Amino acid sequence: MSIASLFDLRGKVALVTGPSRGIGAAAAEILAEAGANILLLGRQMQALQQQAERLTQLGVGTRCIRCDVGNPNQVCDAAHQALAAFGHVDILVNNAGIIRRAPAAEYLLEDWQTVLDTNLTGAFLLTQQIGKAMVERGAGKIINIASLLSFSGGMNVVAYTASKSALAGITRAFANEWGKHGVNVNAIAPGYIRTQATAALQNDPQRYQALLSRIPAGRWGEPEDLKGPILFLASAASNYVNGHILTVDGGWMAA
């Protein structure tokens, strides 16, 4: 197989959650650039439609599905819509996620539940619903967006840490069960990336500098730094990669 064909996604269908900005937008863009038709799933239909217009210019088909990933009923309905839109889904990128910051001793149960519903339960349900169809077809790629906090505790983000640690765990669990059916389930654990989710850290000069000093690459990451790893895990180039948590962190975990 040639290098070009390894990364060719023409004729494939990719579902990306939280695709309007940040890592989700980068994921949708690189998959479209590789030729995949894109299903955009999120809460704000106007933002989804704007992204769809940009991706259509790349010559691929797009569909927008309105869904709050933290609402189980909406997730299950959205999965049915996604499978019906192009007849199948080849690639699922579980990117949608939220952060609620507070000291662990003061963390509200409501915030805990909201974060876990969105970051973990939503990803579980989409993986389950979309992945079952992949198993039946004998092929599929599922990419979960985990975090460095899948490996460490963090500060003032106890629910986020719990959700991302568990997301790494279910990545391995699904991979163990579905690998023999031709479905690859992997995750990417981004380091500190310049997105809206990390705005609070970027706007805190002391915290920002402390984090920067620990990154061997000497810089924070950009959403575009995730494009290559996402394409790799979505393509035939990763056919023998399963249950892996790929850190894309400028060397943070190696320091």
The residue length of the chain stands at: 255
DSSP code of 193? B
Looking at 160, 192, 208, 240, which residue is catalytic? 160
DSSP-assigned states of every residue in 206-247: HHHHHHHTT-TTSS-B-GGGGHHHHHHHHSGGGTT--S-EEE
Quote the DSSP letter at residue 149: G
Helix (H) or strand (E) holding 5: helix 3-6
- Give the rounded distance of the alpha carbon of 111 from its chain centre: 21
Instruction: Count CB atoms within 10 A of the CB of residue 168.
Output: 19
Taking the C-alpha atoms of residue 146 and residue 167, their distance in angstroms, rounded to an integer, is: 6
Residue 160 annotated among the catalytic residues of the structure: yes
Angle at 221 between CA 158 and CA 196, to 5 degrees: 55
Give the integer Cα–Cα distance in Å for 26 and 22.
6
Cα of first residue to Cα of last residue in the chain, in angstroms, is 36
- DSSP of 42-65, one letter per residue? ES-HHHHHHHHHHHHTTT--EEEE
Name the one residue in this structure whose structure tokens are 């991706």: 55
Active site (catalytic) residues: 160
